[in-house]
């Protein structure tokens, strides 16, 4: 693709994002993405013309709200290739999705002699729920370590899993190193051992086609806000037979069939896990985001993100004081460049980059055990979305080059 073709494509895409401007290079897309106009308009449209409490009213408006909400569920189902909409539960975010499994599945399925296997790569959201479940049930939590580039091999996994392993929880793409785990292989091995496999898709679902039936994971959690949707809407995919056997997570309205003074019978899937008034506006936004992503296509999304990653990494290689965590291969980063600058604290990096209107994240990225394992406390992270440009990558690199000098070296 020529530079002018690329520039035309940049402009074509960026015109859809009201918040993006030439002034600021927004490079914190792993934390949350900006929202295209199409999503914002869909949410407005819902509240302007379809809003009522879904699943409750018998009048036209409530039926319309229910329809929109359930159409969003179907869009999510198709997007991740689930068998049925009963397997799609709306939550607030990936964290809530993982906690749902962390409470409801573990309650009846873990015993003191059992083991939970997770990896050192996990975000705190895919770590703390299992630490807590281990405390409650007496099961043992075990950590599978990666190599310094973030890689976990099939041999590593086979060495760590045991006949006592009942649950394996693993991120699809690391939010620090950007590397993909081969979930299909790991889920197959977990199933050989009779373990249930939970995948954290927070950093993969926005960037690549994910097919839950092909991967054959038992659960998949992700957040809408990292894939162009409003905040406050997330998804838990779970296999129907497993969800059916689980106890509810939250109790209240909407998740029951029949209530007496003594107890209740619970609603069918997926409503059994959606207690209380749902975030219909958020679901409508997620539906529009999925349509938007499909209209651009993952081929183009991946081409653009890989191109920017490679483009930036090539230039960063020339700056001796800057070090990128993880693999040297841009394809193993999925737009995520976590870095350190010799002698400059990451919070100072982010603050100086802010002065240059380059937005990057600094800190432990909710993965303190991983950073400790890699021998650092804190890092800075730039993360690209398909709507970023070469010019923004240049601004990142230009700013990087000035940091040491500005700190008085």
Residues of this chain that bind ligand PLP (CB under 6 A): 30, 93-95, 123, 125-126, 171, 175, 200, 202-203, 223, 366
In the complex with ligand PLP, the residue whose CB is nearer, 235 or 324, is 235
Give the one residue of 348, 390, 394, 401 binding other proteins; rule: CB under 8 A.
348
The distance of closest approach from Cβ of residue 113 to ligand PLP in the complex, given in angstroms and rounded to an integer, is: 29
Q: Report residue 2: phi and psi, to 5°.
A: -75, 165
In the complex with ligand PLP, the residue whose CB is nearer, 95 or 327, is 95
Name 321's Cβ contacts closer than 8 Å, sequence gap at least 6.
341, 342, 343, 344, 403, 404
Which residue bears the tokens 């930036």?
Answer: 312
Short-list 180, 239, 167, CA closest to 210: 180
346: contact with other proteins by CB under 8 A:
yes
398: contact with other proteins by CB under 8 A:
no
409: contact with other proteins by CB under 8 A:
yes
83: contact with other proteins by CB under 8 A:
no
Distance CA 394, CA 22 (A): 13
**Active-site annotation, residues:** 366
Short-list 141, 290, 321, 305, CA closest to 227: 290
In the complex with other proteins, the residue whose CB is nearer, 74 or 348, is 348
What per-residue string of b and e applies to 58-79 under the rule 16 or more CB within 10 Å gives b? eeeebebbbebbbebbebbbeb
In Å, how far are 40, 91, 282, 382 from 224, measured between CA atoms? 13, 10, 8, 20
Q: Alpha helix locations (H) across 248-279?
A: none
The distance of closest approach from Cβ of residue 194 to ligand PLP in the complex, given in angstroms and rounded to an integer, is: 26
263: contact with other proteins by CB under 8 A:
no
Short-list 104, 126, 62, CA closest to 270: 104
In the complex with other proteins, the residue whose CB is nearer, 301 or 352, is 352
377: contact with other proteins by CB under 8 A:
yes
The distance of closest approach from Cβ of residue 27 to other proteins in the complex, given in angstroms and rounded to an integer, is: 17
Contact 349, 376 (CB under 8 A): no
The distance of closest approach from Cβ of residue 122 to ligand PLP in the complex, given in angstroms and rounded to an integer, is: 7
In the complex with other proteins, the residue whose CB is nearer, 66 or 125, is 125
Binding interface with other proteins (CB under 8 A): 344-348, 351-352, 355-356, 363-364, 377-378, 402, 406-409
């Amino acid at each position: 693709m020529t530079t002018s073709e690329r520039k035309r494509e940049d402009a074509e895409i960026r015109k859809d994002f009201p918040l993006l401007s030439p002034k600021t290079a927004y490079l914190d897309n792993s934390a949350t993405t900006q929202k295209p106009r199409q999503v914002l308009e869909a949410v407005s449209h819902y509240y302007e013309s379809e809003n009522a409490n879904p699943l409750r009213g018998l009048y036209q408006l409530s039926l319309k709200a229910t329809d929109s909400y359930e159409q969003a569920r179907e869009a999510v189902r198709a997007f991740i290739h689930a068998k049925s909409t009963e397997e799609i539960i709306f939550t607030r975010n990936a964290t809530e999705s993982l906690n749902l499994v962390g409470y409801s599945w573990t309650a009846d399925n873990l015993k003191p002699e059992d083991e939970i296997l997770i990896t050192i790569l996990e975000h705190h959201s895919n770590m703390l729920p299992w630490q807590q479940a281990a405390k409650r049930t007496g099961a043992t939590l075990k950590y599978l370590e990666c190599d310094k580039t973030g890689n976990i091999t099939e041999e590593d996994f086979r060495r760590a899993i045991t006949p006592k392993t009942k649950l394996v929880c693993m991120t699809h793409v690391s939010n620090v190193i950007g590397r993909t785990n081969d979930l299909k292989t790991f889920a197959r091995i977990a199933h050989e051992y009779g373990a249930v496999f939970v995948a954290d898709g927070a950093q993969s679902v926005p960037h690549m086609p994910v097919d839950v039936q092909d991967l054959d994971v038992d659960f998949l959690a992700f957040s809408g806000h990292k894939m162009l949707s409003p905040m406050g809407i997330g998804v838990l995919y779970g296999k129907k037979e497993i969800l059916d056997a689980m106890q509810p997570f939250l109790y209240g309205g909407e998740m029951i069939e029949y209530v007496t003074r003594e107890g209740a019978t619970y609603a069918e899937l997926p409503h059994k896990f959606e207690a209380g008034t749902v975030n219909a506006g958020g679901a409508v936004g997620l539906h529009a985001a999925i349509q938007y992503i499909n209209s651009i296509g993952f081929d183009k999304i991946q081409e653009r993100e890989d191109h920017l990653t490679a483009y930036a990494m090539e230039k960063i290689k020339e700056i001796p004081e800057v070090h990128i965590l993880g693999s040297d291969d841009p394809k193993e980063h999925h737009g995520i460049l976590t870095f350190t600058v010799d002698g400059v604290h990451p919070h100072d990096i982010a603050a100086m980059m802010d002065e240059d209107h380059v937005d990057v994240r600094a800190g432990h990225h909710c993965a303190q055990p991983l950073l400790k394992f890699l021998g650092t406390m804190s890092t800075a992270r730039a993360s690209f979305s398909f709507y970023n440009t070469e010019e923004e990558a240049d601004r990142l690199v230009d700013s990087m080059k000035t940091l040491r000098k500005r700190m008085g070296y």
